[in-house]
Amino acid sequence: MAGPVKVSAGLNPTSREVPIMEIPMVEIERVSLWYGEKPALKDVSMSIPKHRVTAYIGPSGCGKTTLLRCLNRMNDLVDGVKITGTIRIGGTDIHDPGLDVTELRKRVGMVFQKSNPFPKSIYENVAYGPRVLGVRNRNDVDGIVERSLRGAALWDEVSDRLPDSALGLSGGQQQRLCIARAIAVEPDVLLMDEPCSALDPIATAKVEELMLELKNSYTIVIVTHNMQQAARVSDYTGFMLLGELVEVGVTRQIFTNPREKKTEDYITGRFG
Amino acid sequence: MSGRARKLWRSGEPFIWLTGGALALSLLLVAGLVGLILASGLGFFWPGTVLRVTLADGKAMTGQVVEREPIPAETGQYRIKLKVANRDLYGADFQWVDESGIVKREYPPEMAVVERTEWGLLIGTIKELREGGKTVAAGPEAAWAEVRKRLPEAARVRRAILGIEKGEIGAINHAQERIRLRLAGLERRGITAGAEVDALRQQMAPLQARYQEHTARLGQLRSGQTASMVVAADGGKEKDLPLAQVIDVYFPNAMGALAKSGHYAAKVWEFVSDDPRESNTEGGVFPAIFGTVMMVMMMSILVTPLGVLAAFYLREYATQGPFVSAVRIAVNNLAGVPSIVFGVFGLGFFIYFVGGAIDRLFYADALPTPTYGTGGILWASLTLALLTVPVVIVATEEGLAAIPRGMREASLALSATKLETTLRVVLPAVMPSVLTGLILAMARAAGEVAPLMITGVVKLAPSLPIDGFWPFLHLDRKFMHLGFHIYDVGFQSPNVDAARPMVFTTTLLLLLIVVLLNLFAISLRNRLRRTYAAAGV
pLDDT at B85: 85
> CATH number of the domain at B286-532, out of 1.10.3720.10, 1.20.120.1780, 3.40.50.300, 1.10.10.10?
1.10.3720.10
Q: Residue A20: what pLDDT?
A: 52
Q: What is the pLDDT of residues B349-388, one digit of tens each?
A: 999 899 888 888 888 777 777 888 888 899 999 999 999 9
Q: How far is CA B414 from CA A110, A184, A204, B103, B531, in A?
A: 8, 9, 23, 92, 22
Q: Is residue A12 very low, low, confident or very high in pLDDT (cuts 50, 70, 90)? A: very low
- Residue A40: partners with Cβ closer than 8 Å, 6 or more residues away: A33, A34, A63, A66, A243
List, in order, residues 6 or more apart from B411 with CB less than 8 Å away.
A118, A128, A132, B420, B421, B424, B425
Q: Could you give phi then psi for residue B290, rounded to 5 degrees?
A: -60, -45
Distance from CA of B431 to the nearest CA of A (A): 12
If phi > 0 it is left, if psi is from -120 to 50 it is alpha, else beta; for residue A198 that is alpha
* ipTM of the complex model: 0.86
B424 Cα to chain A: minimum distance (Å): 9
Q: Residue A1: which pLDDT band, with cuts at 50, 70 and 90?
A: very low
> What is the percent of chain A with per-residue pLDDT over 70, rounded to a whole number?
92
Give the helix ranges, DSSP H, for B43-168. Answer: 87-90, 140-163
User: Is the pLDDT assigned to residue A15 strictly greater than 50?
Assistant: no
pLDDT of B441 above 80: yes
The overall average pLDDT reported for chain A is: 86
pLDDT number for residue B362: 83
Closest Cα in chain A to B406: A116
Is 60 exceeded by the pLDDT of residue B3? yes
pLDDT value for A19: 44
Q: Could you tell me how far CA B35 lies from the centroid of its own chain?
A: 21
**Cβ–Cβ below 8 Å for B414 and A181:** yes
Which residue did the predictor score with more confidence, B448 or B496?
B448
What are the residues whose beta carbons fall under 8 Å from the beta carbon of B519, sequence distance 6 or more? none
CB contact under 8 A, A119 and B412: no
| Residue A186 φ/ψ region, left for φ over 0, alpha for ψ in the -120 to 50 degree band, beta for the rest | left
CB contact under 8 A, A119 and B535: yes
Cα separation of A221 and A189, whole Å?
7
Residues of A in contact with B412 (CB under 8 A): 74, 77, 105
Please indicate whether residue B177 or residue B345 has the higher confidence score (pLDDT).
B345
| Closest CB from A104, A117, A133 relative to B535 | A117
**CB–CB of B413 and A167 under 8 A?**
no
- Asked if residue A272 has pLDDT above 60, the reply is no
Rounded to an integer, the average pLDDT of B506-533 is 84
What residue in B sits closest to A120 (Cα-Cα)? B532
Q: Give A250's DSSP letter.
A: E
The CATH 1.10.3720.10 domain(s) of chain B lie at 286-532
Q: What is the mean pLDDT of residues B179-192?
A: 81
Average pLDDT value for chain B: 87
- The answer, for B266 touching chain A at a CB cutoff of 8 Å, is no
List the CATH number of the domain containing A144: 3.40.50.300
Q: For residue A114, what is the nearest residue in chain B, using CA coordinates?
A: B406
B479-490 average pLDDT score:
89
Does residue B497 register a pLDDT over 80? Answer: no
A114 or B195, higher pLDDT: A114
**pLDDT higher than threshold 60 for residue B197:** yes
| Residue B73 neighbours by CB under 8 Å, 6+ apart | none
Q: What is the pLDDT of residues A42-64, one digit of tens each?
A: 999 998 999 999 999 988 888 88
For residue A30, being part of any structural domain is answered with: yes
**Please, which residues have CB within 8 angstroms of residue B215's CB and are 6 or more apart in sequence?**
B169
Burial per residue of A70-87, b for 16 or more beta-carbon CB atoms within 10 angstroms, e otherwise: bbbbbbeeeeebebebeb
DSSP secondary structure string for all residues of A24-63: EEEEEEEEEEEETTEEEEEEEEEEEETTSEEEEE-STTSS
Which range marks the domain in which residue A26 is found?
Answer: 5-267
List the single range of A5-9, A267-271, B391-395 with lowest mean pLDDT: A5-9
Query: Of B415, B427, B431, B529, which to mutate for an interface test with A (greatest number of A Cβ within 10 Å)?
Result: B415
Q: What is the pLDDT of residues B72-92, one digit of tens each?
A: 887 888 888 888 888 888 888
- Across the interface, do B411 and A128 touch by the CB < 8 Å criterion? yes
Interchain CB distance below 8 Å, A72 and B417: no
Q: Which of B405, B414, B431 to mutate to test the interface with A (most CBs of A within 10 A)?
A: B414
Please compute the mean of the pLDDT values over residues A126-140 and round it to a whole number: 91
Q: Residues B5-31: pLDDT tens digits? A: 888 888 889 999 999 999 999 999 999
- Report the C-alpha gap between B43 and B268 in whole angstroms: 11
Closest-approach residue (CA) in chain A for B429? A119
User: What's at B500, amino acid-wise?
Assistant: R
How far out from the chain centre does Cα B253 lie? 32
Per-residue pLDDT for A5 more than 60?
no
Instruction: Please tell me the predicted confidence (pLDDT) of residue A68.
Output: 92
Spatial distance between the Cα atoms of A179 and A111, rounded to a whole number of angstroms? 6
Provide the whole-model pTM.
0.81
A112 and B406 within 8 Å at the Cβ level: the answer is: yes
The three-class DSSP label of residue A226 is: coil
The reply to whether B431 touches chain A by the CB within 8 Å rule is no
Closest-CA residue to B246 (of B140, B128, B135, B152): B152
**H helices of B373-426, where?**
377-402, 405-413, 418-421
Instruction: Give me the pLDDT at residue B336, please.
Output: 85
Q: A12-26, B155-169, B420-434 — which is least confidently predicted? A: A12-26
User: In chain B, what percentage of residues exceed pLDDT 90?
Assistant: 26
Asked if residue A272 is part of any domain, the answer here is no
Give the pLDDT band (50/70/90) at residue B1: low
Task: Give yes or no for B531 touching A (CB within 8 A).
Answer: yes
Number of domains in chain A: 1
CA distance A116 to chain B (A): 6
Mean pLDDT across the stretch B295-318?
A: 93
Return the sign of the alpha-carbon dihedral for residues A240, A241, A245, A247.
Answer: negative
Smallest Cβ–Cβ distance between A118 and the set B407, B415, B420 belongs to B407
